[in-house]
A and B are shown apart, each in its own frame.
Chain A
Amino acid sequence: MDWERHLLVVPILLPLAAGAALLLVEEVRHTLKATISMAATLALLVVAIVLLRMADGNGGDAQSMSYAVASWPAPFAIVLVLDRLSALMLVTTAILALAALAFSLTRWDRAGPHFHSLFQFLLMGLGGAFLTGDLFNLFVFFEVTLAASYGLLLHGSGSFRVRSGLHYIAINLAASLLFLIGVSLIYGVTGTLNMADLAVRIGQVSADDRMLLQAGAGILGVAFLVKAGMWPLGLWLPPAYMAAAAPVGAVFVILTKVGVYVLLRLSLLLFGGLSGDMAGFGNMALLWGGLATLAFATSGVLASQAMGRLAGYSVLISSGTLLAAVGMGNIAVVSGALFYLVSSTFAAAAFFMLIELVERAREPGADLLAVTMEAYGDEREETEEPEDEEIGVVMPGALAVLGVSFGCIALLLAGLPPLSGFVAKFAILKGMLDGNSLADGEIPVGAWIVMALVILSGLAALVAMMRTGIRTFWAPLETVVPRVLVIEMAPILTLIGLCFAMTFSGGTLIRYTDAASRALHEPAGYVQGVLGDNREKADR
């Protein structure tokens, strides 16, 4: 059907329209703003699920769907491309966004101006980055995402946020410049920015130009590795994520995954089957970089005192695992890595939100928040505020629910059964042991090191989480039970529930990620979907 094609552009247009409309609504009309924002995010989730079904619809067919914006034929204009991987990322983003947004409704969205608009623009940038089939548009959508994330990171103000925000912005600006250098080098050599066209032309690049092309690809990769937080480019990450407001920290978890997504997409598309003897370029760097990240983050997790820092390092652990898995570059490992990506994203996001609730009772920052709220809100809102708190339904047995959720998240992060973290890690490790790479019947040294580090990092996460859990939930004799509202707990429980569901229907999901991974390893299908599709259209 023809109208279905137009759905591809919705994940970009819908948040853009919602975010712009929200700018027109006065800051004091919280309910209206929250309603628009929630409705838009909910609609985004529905569209993302429809897109997922569309991408998965044609069974074993590895071909991608493309949408030519303004109907120009393919290599010359902007295209959006949908395949299983981008659809999976879209759904993950939408679920995460919905949870974070629901969590923010009790008070965080009022801690500063334009929270909802920034949030929607962030979603727009993410949607664009996952769907675009063009390197330069990738840059533009990255910048949209980053610009919105700068605003969100500073949301709620306070000197710690401003200081780590400053570092975050400076590093990302420098990374964007590297991105531009990489893109222009690749354009200079191949004369195209369309990813599908690039995949075809890269195999035909003459030997003299190869070095320039590889330099370009390497510089481009560094820009994404900064986003993904690879050691030693990821030192900015824990403080920035720790400083962010809880719902912002939760949604930022997906930002590191954008870096991983692009690396996965580009390394398999550009240096996959079509690139001739340049295939596998950069895989070793990803593998060893991922391992260094894992080692660094493992020690970071063990050394963390504050829960926020612990959460920041657990994001790095998941980045390191993913990078190493991408570097292994075999179909089964990548499939497990996609499963792990979804599971670890949900777990880390739930953790960021949970931390705020647990620390609420003793958090000195709570006073600070009240001050900034006074600075930004007006009198009407101030008088409303205490009333609001009374009206909201207080969670019964708050400490028990918090404790159980904390335990579940610990299991997820450590990768222990029975939750999805275990299934994910098991899938990755199994892929390493009996993948196609074992043609010579011998398991490479790298695989053993990856395996050891993945398991060790799980152990470290477990130790750190247990230590924190005991200190928080068991040790104090006179605990101040935090006041937790149902609407704040619901998103966390939903995310954990989804991880449970991922365990139970693991087979279905693994089948999907297997298909996604196989499609990624056959770039011809992607190219066919973009170039072939539009050539037919142009002929008509």
Chain B
Amino acid sequence: MELTLAIAIGVLTGSGVWLVFRPRTYQLVIGLSLLSYAVNLFIFSMGRLRMGAAPVLGADGVANPADYADPVPQALVLTAIVIGFATTALLLVVLLVSRGLTGSDHVDGRESR
């Protein structure tokens, strides 16, 4: 499972970085989104990978904490997803405005010669 996750994060990051360096605004948005998926998976993996372990303690009170997954990274991922979502939406709006004002979808607002 570690290998699968590592490859997934690597592929997402690689494609994301490549897309961020492309000149079109659409590629920029997709690139940043891919990067943020990679980062979210990465944060999640920092809580160590566990199969079938719940992050929330049951109602029966104190149990052995070692039986549970670390809940903190999962909470962090939630926050990061929400914030990433909002800022990406904002970026999309700015991209549309830029497209409208400059008539070009190049990140500099004009084609490079």
Contact = CB atoms under 8 A, between A and B. Distances in A.
Interface string B3-23: 000000000000000001000
6 contacts: A143-B87, A170-B32, A176-B87, A183-B43, A184-B73, A187-B76
Nearest to A136: B76
A163 B39 contact: no
A180 interface: yes
B73 A181 contact: no
A159 B72 contact: no
B42 A163 contact: no
Contact of B108 (A163, A180, A184, A185): A163
Interface centre among A154, A181, A185, by most chain B C-beta atoms within 10 angstroms, is A181
Interface in A140-188: 140, 143, 146-147, 150, 154, 157-159, 162-163, 165-167, 169-170, 173-174, 176-177, 180-181, 183-185, 187-188
Interface residues of B, number: 32
A163 B102 contact: yes
A180 B87 contact: no
A169 B102 contact: no
Main SS of the interface on chain A?
helix
A166 B87 contact: no
A162 B97 contact: yes
B91 interface: yes
Nearest to B86: A147
Interface bracket on A: 20 to 34
Interface centre among A154, A159, A167, by most chain B C-beta atoms within 10 angstroms, is A159
Contacts of B28: 170
A51 to B, nearest CB: 27
A184 B44 CA distance: 8
Interface of B: 20, 25, 28, 32, 35-36, 39, 42-43, 46-47, 72-73, 76, 79-80, 83-84, 86-88, 90-91, 94-95, 97-98, 101-102, 107-109
Given A159-B109, A166-B98, A181-B42, 17 more contacts: A146-B87, A147-B86, A150-B90, A162-B102, A166-B95, A167-B107, A169-B87, A169-B94, A170-B107, A173-B88, A173-B91, A177-B36, A177-B39, A184-B39, A184-B76, A185-B46, A187-B72
Contacts of A140: 79, 83
A70 B3 CA distance: 41
Contacts of A162: 94, 97-98, 101-102, 109
A169 B90 contact: yes
B107 A166 contact: yes
Nearest to A160: B109
A438 to B, nearest CB: 42
B91 A169 contact: yes
3 tightest CB-CB pairs across the interface, nearest first?
A188-B46, A184-B43, A159-B101
Contact of B25 (A154, A166, A180, A193): A166
A174 B19 CA distance: 12
Contact of B102 (A154, A159, A174, A188): A159
A177 B101 CA distance: 29
Contacts of A166: 25, 91, 94-95, 98, 107
Contacts of A177: 32, 35-36, 39
A194 to B, nearest CB: 11
Contacts of B76: 136, 183-184, 187
